[in-house]
Amino acid sequence: MRITTLDAPYDDEQMKEIFQLIVATFENLSICLMCTIEVSILDIVAKVQSCLVMLDLECDALIVEMFQIFFQIIRSIYSLVVFLAMETIMSLNKYKEISLILLSPLLASVRKEIQKVSTFL
């Protein structure tokens, strides 16, 4: 799927840089759980489905980094708004083809949970 506009305000490389900055802001969510700017950015990324554009620009490594950040801080998140935005971003059901690279952080998280459960048994 290719997302196009008549007059794109930024070229692909500029968009990749913008997405790198956006993902970098998500690291601050663990420091400040209710930082207005970071939460707003997260909410907008979820609502406008920026992940589709990231996939279109072949930013798989950046998406994986974003997912890993989410999994690192998810336990410290108590805000339902933040949690639901992360869930929306990571929901891959709208994508036709999902690469193994994108699934790796999801599978790693499941593997960790299975290991935790098995240690209690």
Question: In the chain, what are the domain boundaries?
Answer: 12-120
Phi, psi of 48 (to 5 degrees): -90, 5
Average pLDDT over residues 14-23: 95
In the structure, what pLDDT confidence band is assigned to residue 1 with cuts at 50, 70 and 90? very low
pTM summary value: 0.76
CA within 13 Å, CB half, 66 = 26
Q: What is the mean pLDDT of the chain?
A: 81
